[in-house]
Chains A and B, each alone.
Chain A
């Protein structure tokens, strides 16, 4: 206690110290009774000595420093006080005038409350971070810099810089030779048929490294069809056609349609149920009574069957063994027959000598027949060349004919309505010329089954 009191005294005795909370302090200490304790150990010193007043004092010092930036006692009077001469009148007047104008400006310039809260409110300067100002190896670096300066003054270039200077400059502008895509709209062309021998490298090398282009077989340059690439539409397909050519085209289209219709009818006919196969009352009745009514005929038939079966069995058994005599006779007969045939052949051949003319005629006839057949076959082959081949699962289906009916024809070019699609025409032409096989678009196959569920919300409505 004594020490505390002394400290207080020390503080109070300091010149110009103003205690902010002196009154309350003294009252608290006076009321408590003294307590006797041993003070022979440091532990008990700490425990039982009263350091409140020192704490308070130090707190007070800190408080002053925080709020005013130093001890109040060390401040000059001018900074603490001001001369009160009443409120100046003019200032009020001035303030009233720009109320409207300034209000907004004030609003803009006033900092946000949240910023105010977050502001550093202590006037004590934060302690300097020493490390921030220290440079590691400062002395060494300084010395190196000094040395470099000296060397630069002498004209000696350091090795690193020399290496950098010696490096070949990288040309950033030239990019890697990228092959452009084929459909680049600005791509360049050159005379591909002009320059003959572009690669002069050793053919042996090229062959061994697999870089030599293989010669294209001549046969591949043959076209698979004799049809022209662009088949011009019939004259009836003009936008303003001649009457007869238009009629001819219409007739052609009509014929195709009729043919299609006939095929469809044929299928329908084949699929139709036969009148005789449908059940009538009689047949239904017969079916219901089947087996209930006895018929005598059946039994007779069964009996007949049995007889027949007996006969067959007997025939198998009847195979007899041939006698020696019979065998000999048969052999002689056979030889005799052969002899007879040989004789006959010979005489025939001899006779043919006199038939020479007719033989010649028949040969000629045959030759003519084969020739005719050959011609026919060749003509057929020629016709086949213009036909689309069967190149896959599907047969070639010709495109629907483009036709405009008489009332669809436009009188002028402006009102012309194009018929058909050129894209489809080209596609079909490729198929017709056997360049690609007719194909169907791949169908979408669902792997898992779809499940239909009616949502409750929907069910409520319906």
Chain B
């Protein structure tokens, strides 16, 4: 009987957690230092499952950390450096107060600093781990590199961020790994595929900063401090994977071409500027003249049939084609277009690019160059036009990249109302509503030559096809819209055909018809099988199946509705235009 009475909160989850303030005291750090340490070491607060148990009976909202994490922090060498820094600041203040300038000088010389290299190694044991987490780092670096040097953060940090982002962009250009671009109202989203990892980052527009007040700059700066270190090491590794010199050097050939502009910036700065112009290629460690692309032997992976392999091959081929999208084209950027983004894009896909000499360093040819094929302009009209080049709006480039083909330039001429810029990050499942513009692009990708009127029909056809597929699958017809009734008619006709097919098969009539129906037959067989399978279903499964089918059908119905709406909208606009035209006349 008895024994000691169990005390409350001495075991269980109460002992697994520690409040922030207690953790801070345990580490003997001030709150900002503690926060910095946690960010650098990747230790985040934790929400306990049962707050009341952890919080010793109180339900007050507090920040909790896992005790084990904090214990782990105790071993961190940087903690000592933080304390050193605190002492350093105290001493410096004292020396200033006493106006002991020699002491100030001496202290400043011995300012304690720390390195994050070991933390990088610890948090990302392998390179791929680091690459997976690079999204954040890129966003932050691009963001900080656009900051004005007005004291919101250290100027050195801004410079470092700029350097790292330029290195990254140069790598993406050299490896041709850009996949998608999306111009949003917030900024420009890019997606690249680096070593099999999809990496997305967001680049703010230039000069668009109003500094929000409710953002903790100290926290952001700490994240940036960590991420710049990470990005640097990743860049180093990436450059070496391509046999490029790191820190990046311009190709000796191109460098000599760019030499003439000495008055642009100071010598120390102009190199980075030249690099950030993105117009020149980089020097390689082993100067090989265009690597020969060896044809890789194809080994089918286990559990992968030929079909998927073929699909993959096709995709690879498409990707190769995309990489050379702008090859052989020569672009000239007018001064009002966003230079960096466009230059980056064009160079990523093998195009040549230049701009006016006064816009930026690193222009390679003049406006007067006869070989320019595309002139990117973003104003209603241009005074002096050359006859042998297209004058197009910048959206064409972005849309081409997303469509993976060169789109017809007619829609993007000067003064033309642009087609909408669709997000490449949306992937429609079958049955979803697809905007007609996207359908058009998809048709172009399939290699169909569009005439203006055909496209809409095509779109409709597609929808109808989809509808038919659905009809085949569903057996029990419930309430139906008018459209579905039309589909029903189709179905009946088809069934008739089917029966005809069967009878033909039995009768063995001339082979010509048979040849026609070979594919069809297979389809029918499949459909038949499916129908049988549905018939054999258990009641419960059948119920589930019906539910799924109903959901699909509803989706299609909604998509059809949207399409109809869109058509009505377009028609209304067209009629409006016509009216306007008439009134003008």
Contact = CB atoms under 8 A, between A and B. Distances in A.
A279 B202 CA distance: 61
Contact of B47 (A184, A389, A417): A389
Contact of B159 (A185, A392, A404): A185
Contact of B184 (A182, A185, A238, A242): A238
B214 A424 contact: yes
Contact of B133 (A229, A241, A244, A421): A229
A62 B47 CA distance: 106
- Among B39, B124, B182, B213: residue with most chain A CB under 10 A: B182
A213 B122 contact: yes
A413 B338 contact: yes
A232 B189 contact: yes
Interface string B397-435: 000000000000000000001101111011000000101
B186 A233 contact: yes
A181 B143 contact: no
B437 A413 contact: no
A4 interface: no
A102 interface: no
Contact of B437 (A217, A242, A394): A242
Nearest to B436: A242
A219 to B, nearest CB: 8
Contact of A213 (B47, B75, B126, B337): B75
B329 to A, nearest CB: 20
A422 B189 contact: no
A181 B394 CA distance: 41
Contacts of B211: 421, 423
Contacts of B236: 189-192
A230 B135 contact: yes
Contacts of A123: none
A235 B216 CA distance: 29
B420 A422 contact: no
B156 A423 contact: no
Interface stretch (B110-118, B284-292, B459-467, B575-583): B110-118
B113 A402 contact: no
B340 to A, nearest CB: 13
B42 interface: yes
A183 B208 contact: no
Given A183-B157, A232-B423, A192 B113 contact: no
A185 B212 contact: no
Contacts of A32: none
Interface in B537-580: 562, 565-566, 569
Interface string A226-241: 0011101111011111
Number of contact residues on B: which range applies?
A: 35 or more
Contacts of B395: 240, 413
Interface in A390-436: 390-394, 402, 404, 411-414, 416-427, 430, 434-436
A434 B44 contact: yes
Nearest to B156: A183
B47 A390 contact: yes
A221 B123 contact: yes
Contacts of A358: none
A187 B236 CA distance: 12
B160 interface: yes
A300 to B, nearest CB: 50
B187 A239 contact: no
A74 interface: no
B186 A434 contact: no
A435 B122 contact: no
Nearest to A179: B113
A224 interface: yes
Given A217-B68, A229-B135, A392-B63, A181 B156 contact: yes
A244 B435 contact: yes
Nearest to B225: A182
B163 interface: yes
Nearest to B140: A426
B91 interface: no
A330 B81 CA distance: 82
B113 A181 contact: yes
Contacts of A435: 39, 44
Contacts of B140: 426
A427 B215 contact: yes
A405 to B, nearest CB: 11
B311 interface: no
A65 interface: no
A207 to B, nearest CB: 11
Nearest to B129: A221
Contacts of B46: 224, 391
Given A191-B237, A414-B378, A240 B208 contact: no
A394 B395 CA distance: 42
A220 interface: yes
A183 B184 contact: no
A244 B426 contact: no
Contacts of B216: 427, 439, 441
A439 B219 CA distance: 11
Contacts of B254: none
A265 to B, nearest CB: 25
B118 A193 contact: no
Contact of A422 (B115, B143, B159, B200): B143
A437 B212 contact: no
Interface of A: 178-185, 187, 189-194, 213-214, 216-217, 220-221, 224, 228-230, 232-235, 237-245, 389-394, 402, 404, 411-414, 416-427, 430, 434-437, 439, 441
27 contacts: A179-B113, A182-B229, A192-B117, A193-B124, A214-B72, A220-B43, A228-B200, A229-B135, A229-B136, A232-B184, A232-B189, A233-B182, A242-B435, A243-B569, A391-B63, A392-B61, A402-B185, A404-B185, A411-B417, A414-B337, A416-B185, A421-B212, A430-B223, A434-B44, A436-B44, A437-B63, A441-B213
User: Top 5 A-B pairs ranked by shortest CB distance?
Assistant: A235-B423, A185-B159, A229-B135, A422-B204, A389-B47
Interface of B: 35, 39, 42-47, 61-63, 68-69, 72, 75, 77, 113-118, 120-124, 126-127, 130, 133, 135-136, 139-140, 143, 154, 156-157, 159-160, 162-163, 182-187, 189, 200-202, 204-205, 208-216, 219-220, 223, 225, 228-229, 232-233, 235-237, 240, 246, 336-338, 378-379, 393-395, 417-418, 420-423, 425-426, 433, 435, 437, 562, 565-566, 569
